[in-house]
Structure 1
Amino acid sequence: MRAPTSPIALCVPLALSLFLAACGDPAPTYIDQAYVRLSPNKASPSAGYFIAHGGDSATQLRGVLTDYALKVEMHESMSAGGMTKMAPLSSVDIPAKATVAFAPGGKHLMLWGVNDTAIGRGKMTLTFLLANGDRLLVDAVIQKPDGTSSASAPAVDEHEDH
């Protein structure tokens, strides 16, 4: 005959599993919705935009690198006294569990000399450098100055069998 099990003994495994589930990996910071809008003048810089999503811990974006442009800088457009000016940013805070938008009229990337190969592919990889040591690799869609895709249209086979 088996001894009756106490209610406490039944609750211990359940409580332990809930406790261990709460000890999972912290939510990471991530970047999405990245795109580069090409400048209509190839000698002028293009602009990059994205959304940074803060994880469980605050961090800072310290810079952005790419092999597909000669130079990348973070900037912010600001209005003061009826004038709009732009200033470079050395870092941008990404608060825990918050979003930071790099969007037209505000924070943005400036990219000089975007590579023709990337333009033809319609995307380029950006590496986001975070203060916590993370490096986030994100593919940014490349848009023409009018906002349409820069990717070359796939070749169409005109020799169709009938």
Structure 2
Amino acid sequence: MRAPFSLFALAAPLALPLALSACGDPAPAYVDQAWIRLSPNKDMPAAGYFVAHGGDSGAQLRGVITDYALKVEMHESMTKDGMTTMERIDSVDIPAKGKVAFAPGGKHLMLWGVNDTAISRGKMQLTFLMANGDRLLVDAVIQKPGVAAGNTGEHQQH
């Protein structure tokens, strides 16, 4: 009967860090499903889309930057009195355990001067700037003009 106790005595210290890690830091916010739709007119901005997920506590997205475009801004399309307008937004609240979609017809990114290297690679890295100081690096698939919306292939997070 000593053998089972000895195995437990040896295994318990190894299992302790795993048990404690389950009680560790709260789940962080993250971003996935990022993709960029290029404009047919190279002089016009591209549009960017993604889904931002809140962790165990709420988060706030303050902006997005990339080395692969000259300028990136967050915008929101709205319809008021039958007219659709677009306004720049400075931040977006992401609810705890919730999500905010940046999708065609709503919140989206505007990217001016997308780099030819990124276009030829078919993806570009975006850095999402969170209010708590976190920087989330995400690869966005680049969709060339004429491709059906949402047909972007695989989405990755880094």
Q: TM-score, normalised by structure 1?
A: 0.78
1:61 is aligned with what amino acid?
L
Show the counterpart of 1:37: 37
- Whole-angstrom distance in 1 between the partners of 2:95 and 2:145: 32
Q: CA deviation at 1:24?
A: 2.0
| Corresponding position of 1:117 | 117
Q: Deviations over 1:83-133 (max 9, x none)?
A: 000000000001110010000000000000000000000000000000011
Are 1:126 and 2:126 matched, yes or no? Answer: yes
Gaps of 5+ in 1: 1-12, 151-162
Report the Cα distance in structure 2 between the residues aligned to 1:21 and 1:27, rounded to whole angstroms: 12
CA separation of 1:21 and 1:139: change in aligned 2, threshold 3 A: closer
Instruction: Name the residue aligned to 1:25.
Output: 25
Instruction: Quote the residue 2:83 is aligned against.
Output: 83
Equivalence for 1:49: 49
Does the residue aligned with 1:142 lie in a helix, a strand or coil?
strand
User: What's the CA shift string for 1:14-54, capped at 9, x where partnerless?
Assistant: xxx7x846522211100000000000101110000000010
Secondary structure of residue in 1 paired with 2:47: strand
* C-alpha separation in 2, matches of 1:69 and 1:101: 22
Cα root mean square deviation, aligned: 2.0
CA distance in 1, matches of 2:48, 2:21: 38
The worse-fitting range, judged by mean Cα deviation, of 20-29 and 118-127 is: 20-29
Q: Tell me the secondary structure at the aligned position of residue 120 of structure 1.
A: helix
Match of 1:104 in 2: 104
Partner SS, residue 97 of structure 2:
coil
Among all aligned residue pairs of Structure 1 and Structure 2, give the percentage whose two residues are the same amino acid: 75
CA distance in 1, matches of 2:21, 2:112: 46
* TM-score for both structures, normalised by structure 2: 0.80
CA distance in 2: counterparts of 1:75 and 1:45, whole angstroms: 12
Computing the radius of gyration over CA atoms, which structure comes out larger, 1 or 2?
1
Query: What is the aligned residue count?
Result: 135
Query: Match of 1:45, as an amino acid?
Result: P
